[in-house]
Chains A and B, each alone.
Chain A
């Protein structure tokens, strides 16, 4: 029996088979969960990738279009989910986006409009998505978000780093507000991974090189499974009193001074 047996899990951010979210959905299914996906910006792509999950092409999970910055789609989300399952036990936030001007060394000159767009999609969306799903988590649940360690300033990551720092704070405040409903909110801070999202991040190779040099456990940028397993563990009943936490899945880099 899997650790997510009988649970309904909503997973955002499945773009390709290289997405961390794809592996979360895959392992969640293997652990017994019924998985639903949201898709943005290309629903057709997510639907094709969904058919490659263990459930197979004939029983692929439902795919719901969701732009987390679209208030109408957020308001309609519980109804769209209820067409498939009556309740949710877990939500995976694997969403981050920023205009190119917000990364790459332009930090001192990025406009508020572009910073605001990054914050809306990458930070505020954790709150928006969680609140949208709360009516379906009356019996409690687990929200897990994907983070990149925001306690330090990385080369070229710029406003996306600020957005991730905001995500970490947002997660703590959310944990405080939704805890009384039995909903836990935690983040997984993964090391650098070769995901579709990483392809748009300038300086990725430079940062990935740091991991190769410093991770006590070593680090494979091509292996999203450790981060995905941590997400599944946090979605399960095995962290019943853990909330507002950041679990580092980074080969140990965050604890190394030099």
Chain B
């Protein structure tokens, strides 16, 4: 996925907010949600799985540790 468009950013943020049950205003691009909201490793895996389902990409679960912020997710998606 070469280009992370605004549309993709918006969809990613909605997925993350829905799974973590947080308001979009609470989540900036650099918020580390495992620290800020206490999200555990399975929450990150759920986000990863939801992104695969929604964006039709395949993401190695080994990437999960990088996917603890929106910015981290965009980086991983750009390489997916």
Also in contact, A48 and B53, with CB within 8 A (given A16-B61, A18-B61): yes
Apart from A16-B61, A45-B45, A199-B41: 13 A-B pairs, beta carbons within 8 A: A15-B42, A16-B45, A16-B49, A42-B43, A44-B19, A45-B49, A48-B46, A48-B49, A48-B50, A48-B53, A49-B49, A51-B53, A196-B42
CB distance from A121 to the nearest CB of B (A): 15
Q: Which residues of A contact B (CB under 8 A)?
A: 15-16, 18, 41-42, 44-45, 48-49, 51, 196, 199
CA distance A199 to B65 in the complex (A): 12
Q: Which 3 A-B pairs have the closest CB atoms?
A: A45-B46, A48-B49, A42-B42
Within 8 A of A (CB), among B14-47: 19, 41-43, 45-46
18 A-B pairs with CB atoms under 8 Å apart are: A15-B45, A16-B49, A16-B61, A41-B42, A42-B42, A42-B43, A44-B19, A44-B46, A44-B50, A45-B45, A45-B46, A48-B46, A48-B49, A48-B50, A49-B49, A51-B53, A196-B42, A199-B41
What is the count of residue pairs linking A and B with beta-carbon distances less than 8 angstroms? 26
With CB as the reference atom, state the residue of chain B lying closest to A15: B42
Chain A residues with CB under 8 Å of B45's CB are 15-16, 45, 196
Complex interface: chain A residues within 8 A of B53 (CB)? 48, 51
Residues of B within 8 A of A44 (CB): 19, 46, 50
- Closest chain B residue, CB of each to CB of A57: B53
B66 CB → nearest A CB, Å: 15
Report yes or no: A45 in contact with B42, Cβ–Cβ below 8 A: yes
Contacts of B61 in A (CB 8 A): 16, 18
Instruction: Give the interface centre of B19, B41, B45, B61 by most chain A CB atoms within 10 Å.
Output: B45
